[in-house]
Amino acid sequence: MQDETGVLAGDERMLIDGELQYTSSGAKFDVIHPANEEVAGQATDGTVADMERAVAAARRAFDTTDWSRDVEFRHHCLIQLAEALEAEKERLRRILVTEVGCPVTVTGSQIDEPINEVRHWAEHGKAFQYIVDNGVHDTPLGPAHRKIVYEATGVVGAITPWNVPFYLNIAETMPALMAGNTVVLKPAQLTPWSGTELGRIVAEHTDIPPGVFNVVVSNANEVGAALTADPRVDMITFTGSTATGRAILAAAAPTVKKTMLELGGKSAHIVLDDADLNASLPLAAMMACVMSGQSCILPSRILLPRSRYDEGLEILKGAMANFPMGDPWTPGNMQGPQISEAQRQKVLGLIKSGLDSGARLVLGGGIPENLPVGYYTQPTLLADVDPNSQVAQEEIFGPVLTVTPYDTEDEAIEIANNTIYGLSGEVSSADVDRAFRVAQRMRTGNVTINGRSHFGINSPFGGTKQSGLGRRNGEEGFKEYLESKTVGMPPQE
């Protein structure tokens, strides 16, 4: 909270039923700035009782107000919110860097783009056809004129992670709101302020009615669990680990809740033998280090043709060795700390497991000597990685690339598909048609070819296998928050 470019704490309060408030006991928990390991501020430590009140408010707002039926009003409220977020975006940027440690240089995708997405969903939802004429159909009981009606699902519980918290708070709640649902947001414990600030701005600068949007922050896991199990909640949307996703599915099963899950990833980058290595591999190195490797879609497994293996390793090594890492407040730095000491130790432990299983350390592998304070991890490059080893199978969520050689295209595809995950992938080749054929054989929800990103607000995004259920973004993503109702009636004369 010192100066215009330094640490800034966010709002401590939750938003429940239109009121910004502390938990009744007054309990709070600390929020640590990952770059200096110091307490940057606090947030109210919500309880299961707080969550139950938030769900009750959301249920009442959905059942007794016109929110789900008034598209124009929803559009009005989301445009208000977008304008308010734009006015406060530099404050939000400082708070994000404070609680995440994300370098200020790369906050555009985490602050500016999500604000634009609020406007996108406002316009998308306003233009969406909620009633679609399905035509006249012959039936044994006579001709039936059918219409498809799209209606809001109900109360949506959104549980978000800490790696890109402001973006995901927007991505998981704005289409839900614009579709006519009411929402209870449970932000991650490590990054509560990206949620509390959103709640504050909703309360202070929009006409969103009480109960329509609620934010409950807590340092206790049982508070999020109470949201997933509550029978008054109709849908859970969650981004996070596959292990937590499994628990959410189990908790949602007794009430058969709709679930949308974006879970872990272990994406492979297949570099074909005709690829321009000097174009593809420096970008691969950058993607491993930006956000400190804390990205679910990171193509962390590099598969190189054996004929070009040594050449590729040298290019990766050079790019990672010179990557700008350090204080997230310093412009130009693009890799900051891990989110916490626990996360750093997880990363270091997986690196060690790779070395223990026969991998070769080409670069990094530890804590940078010039950054003794803060949860920093060296950019790390592991070669000769066994594709069945732990480091090649488990999501690392750190600035680590594993490199494995292959002999044939079929072998590369087999290695790429040999995990429980299927979120993303990448292919590099001088022949785009060849790359596309390989991409079609990868069992993932998304594939990038030659650095052209698959990710965008107009394109569906999500995983296969144990990387999730459902899709965000695009028309498919908006419809996830709606239920379709088919109505049959006599044809009109």
In the numeric block, the tokens 């991409």 are attached to 439
Q: What is the pLDDT of residues 63-114, one digit of tens each?
A: 999 999 999 999 999 999 999 999 999 999 999 999 999 999 999 999 999 9
| Contacts of 349 by beta carbon, 8 Å cutoff, 6+ apart | none
In the numeric block, the tokens 């002999």 are attached to 407
Which pLDDT band, with edges at 50, 70 and 90, does 17 fall under? very high
List beta partners, residue 213: 183
Q: Which residue in 99, 262, 395, 426 is the catalytic one?
A: 262
Helix (H) or strand (E) holding 29: strand 28-33
User: Which pLDDT does position 4 carry in this prediction?
Assistant: 59
Q: What is the pLDDT of residues 342-388, one digit of tens each?
A: 999 999 999 999 999 999 999 999 999 999 999 999 999 999 999 99
Instruction: Tell whether the model's pLDDT for residue 479 goes beyond 90.
Output: yes
Predicted TM-score (pTM) above 0.75: yes
Enumerate the domain spans of the chain.
Answer: 14-263+467-487, 268-449
Q: What is the pLDDT of residues 386-403, one digit of tens each?
A: 999 999 999 999 999 999
d(CA 262, CA 469): 7
CB 151 within 8 A of CB 179: no
**What single-letter DSSP state applies at residue 336?**
-
User: Which pLDDT does position 199 carry in this prediction?
Assistant: 98
User: Which pLDDT does position 5 carry in this prediction?
Assistant: 73
d(CA 50, CA 223): 8
Q: How many residues does the chain have?
A: 493
User: Which pLDDT does position 187 carry in this prediction?
Assistant: 98
d(CA 230, CA 222): 12
| Contacts of 345 by beta carbon, 8 Å cutoff, 6+ apart | none
What percent of the chain has a predicted confidence (pLDDT) above 70? 99
Four-CA torsion 405, 410, 411, 417, nearest 10 degrees: 100
Does residue 369 carry a catalytic annotation? Answer: no
CB 144 within 8 A of CB 488: yes
User: Which pLDDT does position 39 carry in this prediction?
Assistant: 98
User: Which pLDDT does position 2 carry in this prediction?
Assistant: 38
Q: What is the pLDDT of residues 283-296, one digit of tens each?
A: 999 999 999 999 99
CATH for 14-263+467-487? 3.40.605.10
**DSSP E strand stretches across 209-348:** 213-215, 235-239, 258-262, 268-271, 301-305
User: Which pLDDT does position 1 carry in this prediction?
Assistant: 33
CATH class of the domain at 268-449: alpha beta
> Six-digit token pair at 166?
């402001």
Q: What is the pLDDT of residues 424-466, one digit of tens each?
A: 999 999 999 999 999 999 999 999 999 999 999 999 999 999 9
CB < 8 Å & 24+ apart, contacts of 310-316: 311/277, 312/271, 312/277, 312/281, 312/403, 313/362, 313/381, 313/383, 313/403, 315/277, 315/278, 315/281, 315/282, 316/281, 316/284, 316/285, 316/362, 316/381, 316/401, 316/403
Mean pLDDT on 192-219: 98
d(CA 58, CA 38): 36
**How far is CA 486 from each of CA 82, 366, 435, 482, 483, rounded to the nearest angstrom?**
34, 58, 41, 13, 10
d(CA 161, CA 246): 15
User: Which pLDDT does position 73 carry in this prediction?
Assistant: 98
Helix (H) or strand (E) holding 195: helix 193-205
Question: In whole numbers, what is the pLDDT of the chain averaged over residues?
Answer: 97
User: Which pLDDT does position 3 carry in this prediction?
Assistant: 44
Q: What is the pLDDT of residues 107-126, one digit of tens each?
A: 999 999 999 999 999 999 99
Q: Same CATH fold, 268-449 and 14-263+467-487?
A: no
